Amino acid sequence: MRSVPHAHGCTPARLSVDLAERGATLRLAEVHAKARDILRVGSLEAKVGRIDRFTSVADVVESFEREKHGNDAEIR
């Protein structure tokens, strides 16, 4: 297992790739304006999906559950 990189060497794009290699997906929620601007410059939106302030943590969890259990699954 690789060691965790130092904070100064770990970009959100790199984190997204590292997580994908492990079968996980990075999703972002409630991202503030300055952070959105920075993340979009790095083309991260293409990798992690929509970056906005309106997607809540609950939305991300619900989306994960729907993908995991199928669109017809009841979300509790």
The values of phi and psi at residue 23, to 5°, are 85, 15
Residues of the chain with pLDDT under 50: 1-4
Q: Domain limits of the chain? A: 7-69
Start-to-end C-alpha separation, the chain: 35
Instruction: Give this prediction's pTM.
Output: 0.66
From CA 3, how far away is CA 31, in angstroms rounded?
Answer: 28
Q: Which two tokens stand for residue 33?
A: 């304006």
In three-state secondary structure terms, 11 is: coil
pLDDT at 1: 39
